[in-house]
Amino acid sequence: MVKELALEKLNQIKEDLYEISQYIGKNPELGNEEFKACEVLSAALENHNFNVTKGIVNQPTSFEAFFDSGKPGPSIGFMCEYDALPEIGHACGHNLIGTMGAAAGIALKEAAAKTGGKIYVYGTPAEETRGVKVTMADEGIFDHLDAAIMCHPSSNFRESGSSLAMDALQFTFKGKTAHAAAAPEKGINALDSVIQTFNSINALREHTTSDVRIHGIISEGGKAANIVPDLAQAQFYVRAASREAVNEISEKVKNCALGAALAAGTELDISYYEFSYDDMISNAALSDVFTESLTELGIDRSMILEKTNGGSLDMGNVSHKVPAIHPYVKISSTPIIGHTREFRDAAMSREGFEGMFTGAQAMTLTGVRLLEDHSLLDRVRREFQLQKN
């Protein structure tokens, strides 16, 4: 059977995949600096007869790998992430995500050679900051896909669900320096505007829905206590369940900053310090097949939890363009939280790799179903059209 052929390919390259995940994990690179990760994944795909193009959408550490069976069939894309976090490395497990996406693509190529279809694997840098999936989605890179699939490591198995849309707002206030003790009346305190912005946002929270998250830092607050700060800056993430809701809340947050600037007499510059992410719209038909694939691999259905929408993903932007899923696989027998050293250590462990391998198997089985089951493909397409409308 075709699925046995694909899974056997995964087993054949299992130890190679382990070495790739370890190499990426031991060489953590920040967003848009992932040259080593991009190279090792691209080389693996080229070795398995994918045509690889690096540097798509003018991003040097991105890539598109492509296999065309030469026979009609669906186009299925897998996403690779491989950027690390400052100081704590692969504490979000992107060394596993990148390896998992490439692994599923290589395995599904074996099936597509028999059934027909096209397989794509995308290297998508900088998910933690300026996620390149946003640019790729905007430029139509994914528009030809019938399905876009990726999987994320976690402390539990979770279905693909929603995520929060997000804006990254930066407020830069400009005032006027003065001696804070000898001539304070001569100065215009930019830090006052930042503090008032925080206070106004705190008051705003009382009048937002429960899905809204607004959190920020003071990224610049002055240089010395005896100098009235003439420059101060704050950065905020504004999140909500939908893009429409984020747009509305972001305007209110901007008004908080505008009011603070007016009150203190400062000048205000508003900018976005990272890309805006849309909410994730999971394709239920596709998600159900992934969950069924996990159970086929021996994962008890009761262990697969529903997904909550606590974070934000650039995969959300992809899901507004093509049918997409973003489920989670378990990589640790003990509870772990993302963006911690404990999560990084789990992602580098053999147990973590085995969890990743289960994810690669489930992604592969999901792809096989799409290649073979035309009625499933029709359901996926119809659901996506209904979601768009």
Domain architecture of the chain: domains with CATH: 1-162+278-388 (3.40.630.10), 165-272 (3.30.70.360)
Look up residue 144 and give its two tokens. Answer: 């030809």
Taking only the tens place, the pLDDT of each residue in 114-144 is 999 999 999 999 999 899 999 999 999 999 9
In contact, 103 and 367? CB cutoff 8 Å: no
pTM for the structure as a whole:
0.93
Look up residue 19 and give its two tokens. Answer: 């070495």
Percent of the chain with pLDDT over 90: 97
SS3 call for 369: helix
Taking only the tens place, the pLDDT of each residue in 50-79 is 999 999 999 999 999 999 999 999 999 999
Of residues 11, 20, 1, 24, the one with CA closest to residue 107? 11
SS3 call for 40: helix
Which strands form 75-80's sheet, in the order they lie side by side?
Answer: 51-54, 63-68, 118-123, 75-80, 147-149, 324-325
The answer to whether residue 350 scores a pLDDT higher than 70 is yes
Distance set, CA 80 to CA 95, 268, 302 (Å): 9, 38, 28
Rounded Cα–Cα distance for residues 142 and 104 (Å): 18
The answer to whether residue 389 scores a pLDDT higher than 80 is no
Cα 242 to the center of its chain, rounded Å: 16
Residue range 344-366: average pLDDT? 98
pLDDT at 309: 66
Residue range 326-337: average pLDDT? 96
Placement of tokens 């539990």 in the chain: 156
The answer to whether residue 308 scores a pLDDT higher than 80 is no
Largest CA-CA distance found in the chain, in angstroms, rounded: 84
The answer to whether residue 182 scores a pLDDT higher than 90 is yes
Listing DSSP states for 99-142 in one string gives HHHHHHHHHHHHHHHHH--EEEEEE---TTSS-HHHHHHHTTTT
> According to the 3-state scheme, what is the secondary structure of 202-234?
HHHHHHCCCCCEEEEEEEECCCCCCECCCEEEE
The answer to whether residue 281 scores a pLDDT higher than 70 is yes
